[in-house]
């Protein structure tokens, strides 16, 4: 069980900073828009799996080297497991679920082929802005519906609401990811920063983004789930493996 008291304190500080700057706390800049192009990546070879990492700055690699981002580290972790895969980094700093929903088709159409898996990590900016959880749910549902329409399996990496936002808000927000995963038969990793945000040595000095060691810790947990989905496509429905 994570230390929610520290989590709440960290998010309160970030919310204050966001209010002063007018920028999203989990984003690098408010200038990122729905028309932002997906990251330029080498085209995958036919024998390699293709994974789309679709998220915000937690995926994009905020203040990290290109080879230290979540997609880059995940790609190496899969290779260490004997899985040849390209993990395309479609993380955009500052993205809310709304902007993610608007750019999804553009990101998918920019790939050389249909991905074997989409990993979706959005929602952090929504909760830090105090957006209505119903809006977050609708946007994520639109993303999952589009991926299902294109027959792309999904792994959701979730977010949790800070406890100072009240029991009702917390209950509504925290339920979004597991409920949508069940509805769309997707896998879900409940909290992207689980056991990382509470350990200062794994976080940047902003207290909200993981450092390179933090990304490694996250990938250590997420990689087995990704590997299972890539290795067992016959066991997946078009929208992923249910939980």
What domain range is 226 assigned to? 4-235
Could you identify the residue written with the tokens 């932002």?
36
What is the set of active-site residues? 57, 206, 209
DSSP 40-63: P-PPPPTTSEEEEEEESHHHHTTT
For residue range 112-128, list pLDDT tens digits in order. Answer: 999 999 999 999 999 99
Q: Is the pTM of this model over 0.95?
A: no
Residue 62 belongs to domain with CATH number? 3.40.50.1110
Give residues with Cβ within 8 angstroms of 198, minimum separation 6: 2, 3, 6, 7
Whether 134 is covered by a domain: the verdict is yes
pLDDT at 218 over 70: yes
Q: Where are the alpha helices (DSSP H) in 110-187?
A: 124-128, 133-149, 167-174, 176-183
For residue range 39-59, list pLDDT tens digits in order. Answer: 434 444 558 999 999 999 999
Residues in the chain: 243
Number of domains, the chain: 1
For residue range 141-175, list pLDDT tens digits in order. Answer: 999 999 999 999 999 999 999 999 999 999 999 99
- For residues 97 and 47, is the Cβ–Cβ distance under 8 A? no
Whether 243 is covered by a domain: the verdict is no
Secondary structure element (H or E) that encloses residue 201, with its range: none
For residue range 219-233, list pLDDT tens digits in order. Answer: 999 999 999 999 975
């Amino acid at each position: 069980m994570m230390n929610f008291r520290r989590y709440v304190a960290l998010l309160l500080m970030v919310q204050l900073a966001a209010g002063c700057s007018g920028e999203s706390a989990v984003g690098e800049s408010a200038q990122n828009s729905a028309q932002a192009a997906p990251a330029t990546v080498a085209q995958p070879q036919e024998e390699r799996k293709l994974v789309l990492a679709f998220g915000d700055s937690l995926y994009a690699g905020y203040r990290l080297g290109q080879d230290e981002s979540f997609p880059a580290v995940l790609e190496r972790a899969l290779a260490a497991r004997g899985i040849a895969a390209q993990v395309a980094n479609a993380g955009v700093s500052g993205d809310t679920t709304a902007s993610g929903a608007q750019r999804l088709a553009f990101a998918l159409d920019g790939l050389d082929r249909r991905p074997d898996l989409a990993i979706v990590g959005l929602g952090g900016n929504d909760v830090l802005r105090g957006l209505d959880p119903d809006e977050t749910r609708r946007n994520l549902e639109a993303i999952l519906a589009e991926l299902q329409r294109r027959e792309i399996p999904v792994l959701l990496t979730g977010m949790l609401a800070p406890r100072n936002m009240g029991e009702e808000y917390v209950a509504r927000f925290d339920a979004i990811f597991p409920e949508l995963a069940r509805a769309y038969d997707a896998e879900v990793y409940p909290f992207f920063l689980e056991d990382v945000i509470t350990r200062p040595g794994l976080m940047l000095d902003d207290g909200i983004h993981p450092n390179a060691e933090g990304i490694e810790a996250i990938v250590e947990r997420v990689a087995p789930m990704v590997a299972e989905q890539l290795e067992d496509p016959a066991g997946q429905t078009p929208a992923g493996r249910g939980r």
